[in-house]
Amino acid sequence: MTFGGREGLLLVLSGPSGVGKDTAVQALLQADPTLSFGVSVTTRKPRAGELDGKDYIFVSETLFKTWIAEDRFLEWAWVHGNLYGTPRDRLLEALTAGRDIVLRPDVQGALRISENFPDACMVFLLPPTWKELRARMEKRGGDSGEEMEQRIDAARREFNYLRNYDYVVINDRLEDAVTTLLAIVRAERCKVHRNKILLGPEEEISD
Amino acid sequence: MTFGGREGLLLVLSGPSGVGKDTAVQALLQADPTLSFGVSVTTRKPRAGELDGKDYIFVSETLFKTWIAEDRFLEWAWVHGNLYGTPRDRLLEALTAGRDIVLRPDVQGALRISENFPDACMVFLLPPTWKELRARMEKRGGDSGEEMEQRIDAARREFNYLRNYDYVVINDRLEDAVTTLLAIVRAERCKVHRNKILLGPEEEISD
């Protein structure tokens, strides 16, 4: 008897800007190579080291808006002056094929994904303190002082959406956060409701 | 910011007779010493190596029935001609004090515990095949041929209750099953609804 007939798990990892979503997702994908990353589309400029097609699909605002008109996004949103979106078709195909996908949307986007996929596993990544969140944003750089204050304010508001998530993970030491994320993935794969064949008549799973 | 104000997690590990609940629970408790075992009461005779007060509280049928009359059980049931029960008061005290408790009831008992504790984390342990279940029962010994056939029949019926559980874990290699159980415990401790302080106003968790 084996697990089988399972749709892909959709792991939605979100949390405030600066909390370290990108680093955590990269480390998680390295630690569990059976997970695939669902690349988002954005109009923001690439940061140092970010690759087009791997970290994000970087497009112009004009192209993004064409794709909105063509209904190509599962969800999209303005975040800090840039557009971000999750492409619909590729994601649905991957899940139907049984692949486990990790998305890394902003907090608003995550909630809209959850409305479309009530079965999505929603994880909120929190900084150990607000002070640490500010320190991480400063270290990352690339934002003006005003932009950073806006991000901090947004993070405090976003914290109120925690109740719409399934899991909360404190991103203090990266290794600990990744171990917890791996545990969540392992546990979710064993959820009874995700393993449909096992719920069939016993004859189907007899020896 | 830390996790806090959390009630104890109640992990209910069940599954058919012979699947290896006892061994799995022992290995889990060794691997995570912050878990405590909620010892059950039974009228069945101790098997080789079983200790009174550690594996079970072994009592006479007369005493068990007195305790039923005194309403000391959260749940109790006849299983294969013996009485089994979960003592109520000790369990409630431990959970309120924030201790994480593992119970190992039979499948009927687990369902009644879940009715009393909707928040309990319900895990169903399955054998890799029915053939393997029979082999394990034979290896364990202590049952007559007729008793064994009764247990196998019961196991097939109990499989239909799988849908009332949260997680299903195949107990093929013990180490794999224990790793999965540890992951489930780690994941469940991060459930948003179990971490009430984090859901308070943001001022409470500010730096």
pLDDT tens readout for residues A93-124: 999 999 999 999 989 889 999 998 999 999 99
CB-based contact, B200 to chain A, within 8 Å = no
Model pLDDT for residues A13-25, shown as the tens digit of each residue: 999 988 899 899 9
- Predicted complex ipTM: 0.85
Residue A1 has pLDDT above 50, yes or no: no
Instruction: Give me the pLDDT at residue B136, please.
Output: 85
Model pLDDT for residues A128-186, shown as the tens digit of each residue: 888 888 888 888 777 788 888 888 888 888 888 998 999 999 999 999 999 999 999 99
By residue range, what is the domain housing residue A175? Answer: 10-38+99-205
The first and second tokens of residue B168, run together, are 């299903």
Model pLDDT for residues A43-53, shown as the tens digit of each residue: 999 988 899 99
For residue A166, being part of any structural domain is answered with yes
- Contacts A–B by Cβ distance under 8 A: 101
Residue B20 has pLDDT above 50, yes or no: yes
How far does chain A reach from its first CA to its final CA, in angstroms? 7
Q: How far is B157 from chain A (nearest CA, A)?
A: 9
Residues B167, A190: C-beta atoms closer than 8 Å: yes
For residue A68, being part of any structural domain is answered with no
CB-based contact, B57 to chain A, within 8 Å = no
User: Average pLDDT in the B40-65 region?
Assistant: 94
CB-based contact, B17 to chain A, within 8 Å = no
| Long-range pairs for B67-74: beta carbons < 8 A, 24 or more residues apart | B67/B41, B73/B41, B74/B112, B74/B113, B74/B116
For residue A111, being part of any structural domain is answered with yes
User: How many domains is chain B partitioned into structurally?
Assistant: 1
For residue A181, being part of any structural domain is answered with yes
User: Average pLDDT in the B16-43 region?
Assistant: 94
For residue A139, being part of any structural domain is answered with yes
For chain B, percent of residues with pLDDT exceeding 90 = 60
Taking CA atoms, A139 is separated from A48, A101, A132, B1, B175, in Å, by 13, 29, 10, 21, 41
Give me the amino acid identity at B72.
R
For residue B60, being part of any structural domain is answered with no
Instruction: Give me the pLDDT at residue A5, please.
Output: 62
CATH number at residue B123: 3.40.50.300
For chain A, percent of residues with pLDDT exceeding 90 = 61
Chain B residues within an 8 Å CB radius of A198 = 126, 162, 168
For residue B68, being part of any structural domain is answered with no
| Model confidence, pTM | 0.86
Residue B113 has pLDDT above 90, yes or no: yes
Sequence-distant (6+) residues with CB within 8 A of A145 are none
For residue B69, being part of any structural domain is answered with no
